[in-house]
Amino acid sequence: MSFPGYLVSCLGTLTGLAAVILTGAVLGSRLLPGWHGPVAWTGVGVLAVGAAIGPALALGTFGLLTGWSWLLLTIAIAAAIWRFQERLPIARARSLPYTEPATPGLTMVGTAIAAGAFGAFVAGVSIRLGTGMTGFDSTWYHGPFAAGIAQSGDTWSLHLLAPQFLSWFYPQNSEVIHSLGMMAFGNDLLSIFLNLGWFSACLLAAWCIGRPYGAAPISLAGVALILGSTAMADQAGEARNDIVGTFFLLAALAVMVNAAAGGRRITLGPALVVTLAAGLAMGTKVNFVPAALVLLAGTVVLSEPSRRIRNGLAGCGALLLGGGYWYLRNLTHSGNPIPWINHIGPITLPGPSQDVGGRDAGSVWGYLADTDVIRHWFLPGFGDGFGSGWILLGILAIAGLVLCLDRNSGPARRTGAVVGLALVLAWLVAPTSASGPSGEPNGFVSGLRYLAPALAVCLALLGSGIGQRGSRARWLVAGALLILAPVTIAFGDDWDAKEWLVAFASGTLFWVACLIGLGVWRVRSKQHRLSSRASQKVLGWTAGTALAFLVLCGFGVQRYYFDHRYASPDFTIPALSEAFVWANGESGVKIGTNATRQYPLWGEDLDNEVQFIGLNEPHAGFVEAENCRDFIAAANQGDYDYLVLTLDREGQKLAQPRELTWVSKDPAVKYVVDAEGGAVLSLDGPLSPRSCR
């Protein structure tokens, strides 16, 4: 990308970001009047994300989503809300209760732990800058969903991927955000950094959960340890969405806990923010649905008895506004909002009549009575995912639950504890939480990312639960977290000097920035000079200078990124790796494939059209072609320029995929790439069914 083009993309991105933040700030001032500081910022963040996703879905439903249409619509919405803000009703919301801030020593310890996790996460991002996104789920469905939305402008249609786990029905709030970045720059540069933003947002929400009880640094440190663990390390520089949903749940709890602190009832404004955040989580990942419903129920219980029906109905509306779109889409296409469930007792629900496919399914729940699996797989797996101190980490998480389930903890924190339990249950029964051959759940460690949000919630609640029990209890927990930090945070064994330097520098900068920011905030709060024009000017100039510096540095970063993006992929079999290298240099071609991992085939500019070659079934089903004639018919129907036919997993016994065997001698085929395990073929006409003889 040229420098002028890069600057235009940056300007458009910043303008759109400013528009949604303005919308979120104005709505926040009406829903959370009188709130200020980190809790208000968290609420505004939730509203701003909703203000970004909402217009995108409105346009995408009709296939009208482009970078420019989204930008113009968000600017128009922001301008209208700003112009008529005085006419917007103000929800009744009590001001935040005053609490004595945590001691400087506790703050230094908590922010130091968070800085270590932040540094490790940034190092992970820097690694992906030299490779592109390589995670299995990023290349299987997160990336293709986002690129497909950016290319087509359509969010309502189903993007049919490899027929595994009915993935085309997954909710896609996170992928919509990625697609907006892709439309702004014409590539996936921003996607590498988005989860770093979600990481920071999670820490902000965690701080707020411990805030009313003088233990914000403990909540901050606990959540940072989970986000920095090996179980969540694959979120860095990738398009995975576990960390995105974790933020929405933490943000919902942050608003709820602060609104209800001191035994107060929650009013309509905070209730709407809580349920919107819950809906955004539900619209990010299916396994967050139970937690979202718990949050909805919690807002009803916390409301004034005379207001429960009203707040409950309003909360249902906000929940559906945040995440109901994807389930309505599924209902329209398949007749079932959650097509993975086709039986409820004796009742049969509509939906695709096909196997879920993919890896060998297996849940932790199914192995709870198998002591051999627990001893040989689960216990070592916890160590692999959360470090050698996982037992202590688990004890602290359980302590957070127990303390907040206590009768004296109040309904808000009890709701948080039930959210944690709902997330644990979702992990236990998830069909891939212990995937693998029977008795050998080799996918257990990977499945710990379903447990990580539960642990994050529990450790965030630990701060609020331990905060009221005196400084000695706070320091005891802080000391335990400090001991856990070096053995829990995923500092890479294979890092070179560059990654260690990046981790140290970014972690140090984060720590210093936190301490300075907190110090300035406390001084300003005590002096009641929050609206000082002089201080606002200083902050404005500082932010502007930092932003300009980041934009200028970003041009060099993007040059480095596109010099290395999928230049030498080594994360899959040779044939697929060579296909990725080939496709990265192509532009505007139509590719049919049998590979599960498709994303690198979209090319550097994300303008290749990529589609899995399969057969449509009733109720939006989609299956592989099981014979040569069906495959050729499907390939011809796609009118592809190229076919990428490879094995896509190591350890497969076949020398090449059956699809390649079927068409390799067709006269319309020409080999472009021929490698071990597959090939890239160009087509100069339709394939002939005679090849099947």
pLDDT (average), residues 365-391: 95
Residue 692 has pLDDT above 60, yes or no: yes
3-class SS at 346? coil
pLDDT of residue 359: 65
Distance CA 44, CA 50 (A): 10
Sign of the alpha-carbon dihedral angle for 193, 197, 199, 200: positive
pLDDT digits (tens, 9 = 90+) for 420-451: 999 999 999 998 899 888 899 999 999 999 99
Q: How far apart are the first and last CA of the chain?
A: 49
Distance CA 46, CA 636 (A): 46
pLDDT of residue 533: 60
pLDDT of residue 6: 93
Q: Which amino acid type is present at position 494?
A: D
**Confidence grade of residue 530 (pLDDT, cut at 50, 70, 90):** very low
pLDDT of residue 467: 87
Query: Which among 400, 408, 404, 403 is positioned nearest to 263, based on CA atoms?
Result: 408
Higher pLDDT, 464 or 517: 464
pLDDT of residue 594: 95
Alpha helices in 387-451 (DSSP H): 390-405, 411-429, 444-447
Provide CB contacts within 8 A for 310, sequence distance 6+: 268
Pairing of strands 590-593, 642-646: parallel
Residues 364/436/125/147 CA torsion (nearest 10 deg): -110
pLDDT of residue 167: 94
Distance CA 139, CA 240 (A): 10
pLDDT digits (tens, 9 = 90+) for 242-257: 999 999 999 999 999 9
Distance CA 132, CA 606 (A): 13
**Confidence grade of residue 341 (pLDDT, cut at 50, 70, 90):** confident
Distance CA 191, CA 449 (A): 20
Which residues lie across from 593 on neighbouring strands?
Answer: 612, 644
Q: Which amino acid type is present at position 302?
A: L
pTM of this structure = 0.96
pLDDT digits (tens, 9 = 90+) for 184-226: 999 999 999 999 999 999 999 999 999 999 999 999 999 999 9
pLDDT of residue 529: 46
**Confidence grade of residue 90 (pLDDT, cut at 50, 70, 90):** confident
SS3 of 341-394: the string is CCEECCEECCCCCCCCCCCCCCCCHHHCCCHHHHHHHHHHHHHHHHCCCHHHHH
pLDDT of residue 101: 81
Query: Which range has the worst mean pLDDT, 83-92, 330-339, 356-365?
Result: 356-365
Higher pLDDT, 560 or 519: 560
- Beta-carbon neighbour count of residue 421 at 10 Å? 18
Query: Which among 206, 228, 227 is positioned nearest to 216, based on CA atoms?
Result: 206
pLDDT (average), residues 456-469: 93
Tell me the average pLDDT of the chain: 92
Structure tokens at 553: 């540095």
